[in-house]
Amino acid sequence: AIGDGSMNNGVAHESMNFATMAQFKKGLPIIFYVENNQYGMTGQQKGEITGVEFLSQRGLGYNDAAMHAETVCGMNILSVRDAVRRAREKCLDGEGPVLLEANTYRFWGHNFKDKGVAYRTREETDAWKEYDPVDWFRGELVRNDIITEENAEREWEKIREKLRELTVLAAKSRFPKIKDIYAGLYADTSSDNIDESYKTVNLLKPARKYKRDSDGKILGRHAVAEALAEEMSRDKRVVLWGEDIAEHGGAYSATLGLIDTFGRGRIFNTPISEATIIGTGVGAAMVGLRPVVEIMYIDFILMAMDQVGNQAAKTRYMFGGQSDIPLTIRTTIGGGKGYAGQHAQSLESIVTQFPGLKVAIPSNAYDMKGLLKTAIRDDNPVFFIEHQMVYLEKAVVPEGEDYTIPFGQAKVVKEGSDVTVVAYSNMVGRSIKAAEMLEKEEDISVEIVDPRTLVPLDIKTISESVKKTGRAVVITQAPYTGGFASHISHEITLNCFKDMKCPVRIVSSYDVPPPMSHPLEVENMPDPERIARDLKETMEK
């Protein structure tokens, strides 16, 4: 159910287009019920902020059946009942979805401050009151000898009394206890121990096997594909959707071959509709599926911030912990490929701002597989960030569905004694190269810590390293201002201040959009040489 105001939001159009996709062989059983009370906040649907007489006319644009669109008098309870019954029958017969508009009226203002007089006349309001649905229905019952006027008044008084009781009950209810402010934010459960009944049977063909090289290594993108295939086989509730992920296998072939094994019922393409990709993922997770949805580039997440921040992250908390959201949002970070300002940003700090959301950001193929399997099994929404350059790098990756990596456990990827580097994603590999240069040329011993997950952040492991070395440098691909590196720096200072020999240093991209020009892009992103130079300067403090 949505209002006439919401019908003008782009997500409404995305949703109806999504619901009417031809690949859904049997129409989705969805009724889009639009309560058109004539005003969004103050803007009037008819004659002002739309160009149509009836909002149901928009159904013409979505499928050949025009979504069986219908407009009824929303002031007539029986008309609405009959229309909903017709729509329900269409849906049960496989002819959904249906667009149903109920024309009604908002007698009051948008909120308590809005008296509703600045943008409409008293004559308009009085004219609509002649069709008040409550008074009309009461009159119908009396006129058709279903109840008498006396009985009607008696029943109406019971209703008024019940409303008074509920109002008093709400007013007297106790406020939550301060100590419970975090209650319901995160689930502490997962699907680790599901039984065999969840296992996928009747595969269309065996899942693709990725052959290890002589050292037992595979590419990062193959590690992702292997994790997805194993989790889809292990749990039939795992379903994938996103742009171009079916036959094409996604922009980076990370889902290649999955449709051949699991079919279109388990992995399918979507329109370019980032908000609806994630919004439907939230809904599917709430009713028992374990969706893995893909946003091709993290830059595109800006098209779906409401769904990420206000729905995926907050729903469990707002429902008092009564609804788990086992949703995995996969996306990629670019950089180093000339993809420029809309395809190469590092926006991880944005999604860490939403309590209720976990954020994983692997730096190698080994972690890509283990962390992704953990994300899919987690009963919380997880934002999973894969770097496109790591897709092309090899690492030793275990086979088998029992391999997972717990969230919130950082890894010391290289031990050292002089300075601690905290780096994540593609910057880990660059930091290793910088450390090797320094050890060979300057005899500086560098310890490198990879957080693996930003939320939760393992500050304990990071702090232990910094207390040992007395120096810390945080490396990030993101711009300097407002980045997650600043948060890590703050936590290090908070926990290690008395053990530190100098302030924490941040090595980052510059405060500019990612350039397309190759020389500018190379200069913008921290490379081993710049990292080594800054580490050397830190040692001189």
Q: What is 472-500 written as a DSSP string?
A: EEEEEEEESTT-HHHHHHHHHHHHHGGG-
Run means of pLDDT, 10 residues per run, the chain, 541 residues: 94 97 94 96 90 95 96 96 98 97 93 87 93 93 94 94 97 95 97 94 93 96 98 98 98 97 97 98 98 98 97 97 98 90 94 98 98 98 98 94 94 98 98 97 98 99 98 98 98 98 98 95 96 97 81
What is the pLDDT at residue 21? Answer: 97
Three-class secondary structure of residue 333 per DSSP: strand
- In sequence order, which ranges of 378-445 are alpha helices (DSSP H)? 426-441
Of the candidates 445, 373, 360, the one whose C-alpha atom is nearest the C-alpha of residue 411 is: 360
Give the whole-angstrom CA distance, residue 351 versus residue 384.
Answer: 10
Distances (CA, A) of 279 to 21, 299, 306, 487: 16, 17, 9, 29
Q: Determine contact, residues 198/237, Cβ cutoff 8 Å.
A: yes
What is the pLDDT at residue 114? Answer: 87
φ, ψ for residue 267, nearest 5 deg: -150, 125
Beta bridge partners, 39, equal: 44
DSSP single-letter state for residue 396 = E
Q: Which residue's entry shows tokens 């401050």?
A: 113
pTM of the model: 0.95
Distances (CA, A) of 172 to 50, 159, 160, 165, 176: 44, 20, 19, 11, 12
Give the whole-angstrom CA distance, residue 539 versus residue 439.
Answer: 13
Q: Report the alpha-carbon angle 302-307-311, nearest 5.
A: 145
Start-to-end Cα distance in the chain: 62
Q: Which residue's entry shows tokens 């999504």?
A: 18
What is the pLDDT at residue 45? Answer: 86
Order of strands, edge to edge, in the sheet holding 358-360?
267-269, 238-242, 290-295, 328-333, 382-387, 358-360, 453-455
Burial class of residue 332, CB neighbours in 10 A (0-12, 13-18, 19+): buried
Of the candidates 387, 381, 391, the one whose C-alpha atom is nearest the C-alpha of residue 186 is: 381
φ, ψ for residue 393, nearest 5 deg: -100, 145
How many CB atoms are located within 10 Å of the residue 514 CB?
Answer: 26
What is the pLDDT at residue 464? Answer: 98
Give the whole-angstrom CA distance, residue 423 versus residue 426.
Answer: 8
Residues with a known catalytic role:
343
List, as one string, the DSSP characters of 53-105.
S-GGGGGGGT-TTGGG-EEEETT-HHHHHHHHHHHHHHHHTT---EEEEEE--
